[in-house]
Amino acid sequence: MQLAINAGIITNVNSYLKVQNGGTSQNVWSCPNRPPGLPYYDAGNDQYILGYEYMGGITTWSYAPANEAHSPVKLSNAKSYWVLGGDLNVKVVGQSWTGALVTPANGTTYIEYGNVPPHPAKSRLPTGGNEVFADGSANWCKFETMCHFNNFPGTMGSTDLWWYQDSADFSSALQAQLTSLRTLQ
């Protein structure tokens, strides 16, 4: 959901990272369990819609104290455990995790939100998600450990982005907010 076009990611690596999938050209930004058509360029909003959350380049987290973020803007300055990207665990503000965000299969909303959350439990809450860290490692993170650190204006409205982040270098103010950032709102 991050504006990958602003970071130049799609333009710079798309031609190098394509793989063949059933005779169609896909790339690494297309999660196998997401609807076809990702990444999708939304010309009206001048952004690419990815099958993953991309946290690189976020300079301020919406729900953190002023000017605080722990996202890899420049990898040489990033902590190895900062999250670079992860499964698309987003929740439209004011909506539930019921999966009721699907519109017709050919619509932009379906492409963006047609399989959110990507790993639902029977309750439709996410069970968790795969995350990639600044050091290149990856891990499965349980949803109970995730927080909605950031907010993004999406096709359906304002969306909270959920991911796990090691809190070792959080300020005391952000540490104090963690319980509320894990609460479904």
What single DSSP character describes residue 114?
T
Helix (H, G, I), strand (E, B) or coil at 58: coil
Q: How confident is the model at residue 173 (pLDDT cuts 50, 70, 90)?
A: very high
13 Cβ contact partners less than 8 Å away, ≥ 6 residues apart: none
How confident is the model at residue 163, as a pLDDT? 94
Beta bridge mates, 154 = 157
pLDDT digits (tens, 9 = 90+) for 72-118: 988 888 999 999 988 888 887 877 775 555 555 556 565 566 667 77
Does pLDDT of 185 surpass 60?
no
Q: What is the pLDDT of residue 46?
A: 60
Residues 6+ apart with CB under 8 A from 79: 70, 134, 166, 168, 169
- Calculate the dihedral angle through the C-alpha atoms of 59, 61, 62, 63, rounding to the nearest 10 degrees: -160
| 3-state secondary structure at position 130 | strand
Query: How many angstroms separate the CA atoms of 171 and 153, rounded?
Result: 26
Q: In this structure, which long-range contacts are made by residues 5-8, counting pairs with CB atoms below 8 Å and at least 24 apart in sequence? A: 5/41, 5/46, 5/47, 5/48, 6/47, 6/57, 7/54, 7/56, 7/57
Tokens 């982005």 -> residue: 161
What are the extents of the domains in the chain? 54-181
pLDDT single digits (tens) 11-67: 544 544 444 444 444 445 555 555 555 566 666 666 566 667 888 888 899 999 988
> Any bridge partners for residue 120, and if so which?
126
- pLDDT 10s digits, 126-168: 899 999 999 989 999 999 999 999 988 766 678 888 999 999 9
180 pLDDT exceeds 50? yes
pLDDT of 171 > 90? The answer is: yes
